[in-house]
Amino acid sequence: MAATPVSSILERIAAAGKSYEGDERGSRETLIDLGRDLVAALEIPSEFLQRSFWAEPALSAHCKLAVNVKLFQHLRDAGDAGLSLSSVADKTGVETSLLQRIMHHLNAMKLVTFSNGNFYATTLSNGLAEERYQQSIDFCYDVARPSFNGFPKFFKENGYKTPADLRTGPFQAAHKSDLAFFDWLVATPPHLAEFDAFMSAYRAGKPNWYDPGFYPVTERLVEGFEPNNNEVLLVDVGGGRGHDMSMFVAQHPQHPGKVVLQDREPVVASIADKERLPFECQAHDFYTPEPIKGARAYSLHSILHDWDDERGVKILENLKPALTPGYSRVLLNEIVLSEEHPTIAATSMDMMMLAHMSVRERTEADWKEIIEKAGLSFVKVYTYPGVAESVIEAELAEVSQP
């Protein structure tokens, strides 16, 4: 296939730029993607090597160093006044000559700017100065990156096959452990906290599934709600400490019925001030039958992608006895990997799952297969421009009469 002409890419960038100025949904992400198209069309192999294997790994290392010495916070706090090299050195304790080289690279990579003898923060570096992103950098550099670096050796020794067990993947090889990923996190508390921060930061700045224009909450959940069938509107299965449910209630304060958060006993027990929450909490393991019968909807946010198909089917099967035919809905908030136009957000998460869990992200066909194996019926996929995750709606499959 012939390469896309640069002129065509530039025309699309101009059109996307107008959409961005008009605040159209997904236009920012489209511009970023087109920027990558332009680089791919213009970059020669030597430049690709320099960027991919020198510049970007060095940038990651510098970001980790920046966390250690609070570099981004110092630049943020300086504001429009900026900081001289010597001032940055004094505040961080980094040798001036070393710091100068690091700052030059951060400037070249557009993470900071330099003018009239001073270095200045950028919108991006100020964002990275937030605590959740500081911990995310620690997690990505110390936990995730070694797993990726070990890919070539691991797969060569493994016969270039997908790991068959979640305890024998690239993550275990990199960290010399026989623990599954989540068990390892629990055993290494600093990394558990970093992972929690990473997950909270992962979706930050993106619309949630219950926001306007994404999944039609009013049409599909509120309308048709039957309190006589069950007073529960929504059950968040495996919902952690309730981030999703708090945001759902805030977005839909007039919702009918109850909203219930479910997770394992230790997780629910760790939630403070439960009586003040705008939802109920219930201890439940999704590997056991769902105790709330006949709710309008059961939401599972990024649950099934942590498990292989067999376990995923089991989780869905445990919902089946609770579902009311023609009424209850199952909402899977998951990545639906496009085969024709995969996005970096989707494929990078797929690589994360391969590295750490020995599982995968799924295509629409994959989702249909796992849903139907569980005895449910695939209804529809709802998407939002620029958001990696979709809402996959399913319901109890109709049983044909003999």
Would you say residue 4 has pLDDT above 90? Answer: no
Do 39 and 120 belong to one domain?
A: yes
Residue 105 catalytic? no
Instruction: Summarize pLDDT for 211-262 with one digit per residue, the tens.
Output: 999 999 999 999 999 998 789 999 999 998 898 999 999 999 999 999 999 9
Is residue 248 located within the same domain as residue 386? yes
pLDDT over 60 at 392, yes or no: yes
As for how many domains the chain has, the answer is: 3
Residue 243 a catalytic site member: no
Segments forming the whole domain that contains residue 163: 131-202
List, for residues 59-108, the tens digit of each pLDDT value.
999 999 999 999 999 999 999 999 999 999 999 999 999 999 999 999 99
Residues 316 and 172 in one domain: no
Residue 399 has pLDDT above 80, yes or no: no
Catalytic residue among 29, 194, 290, 334: 334
pLDDT digits (tens, 9 = 90+) for 11-33: 999 999 999 999 999 999 999 99
pLDDT score at 1: 54
Q: Check 175, 284, 305, 356 and give the catalytic one.
A: 305
Residue of 361, 389, 393, 395 marked catalytic: 361
Same domain, 228 and 300: yes
**Domain final residue, candidates 202, 227, 243:** 202
Active site residue 334: yes
Q: What is the pLDDT of residue 203?
A: 83
pLDDT for 400 beyond 60: no
Confidence of residue 2 (pLDDT cuts 50, 70, 90): low
Q: Which of the listed residues 176, 202, 228 is the one where a domain comes to its end?
A: 202
User: What's residue 204's pLDDT?
Assistant: 86
The per-residue pLDDT for 200 is: 83
Q: Considering the domain boundaries, does residue 401 fall inside one?
A: no
Q: How confident is residue 402, by pLDDT bands cut at 50, 70 and 90?
A: very low
Question: Residue 122 falls within a domain, yes or no?
Answer: yes
Q: State the CATH number of the domain containing residue 242.
A: 3.40.50.150
Q: What is the pLDDT of residues 289-338, one digit of tens each?
A: 999 999 999 999 999 999 999 999 999 999 999 999 999 999 999 999 99
Domain boundary among 127, 143, 170: 127
In three-state form (DSSP H/G/I as H, E/B as E, the rest C), the secondary structure along the chain is CCCCCHHHHHHHHHHHHHHHHCCCCCHHHHHHHHHHHHHHHHCCHHHHHHHHHHHHHHHHHHHHHHHHHCHHHHHHHHHHHCEEHHHHHHHHCCCHHHHHHHHHHHHHCCCCEEECCEEECCHHHHHHCCHHHHHHHHHHHHHHHHHHHCHHHHHHHCCCCCCCCCCCCHHHHHHCCCCCHHHHHHHCHHHHHHHHHHHHHHCCCCCCCCCCCCCCHHHHHHCCCCCCCCCEEEEEECCCCCHHHHHHHHHCCCCCCEEEEEECHHHHHCCCCHHHCCCEEEECCCCCCCCCCCCCEEEEECCHHHCCHHHHHHHHHCCHHHCCCCCCEEEEEEEECCCCCCCHHHHHHHHHHHHHCCCCCECHHHHHHHHHHCCEEEEEEECCCCCCEEEEEEEECCCCCC
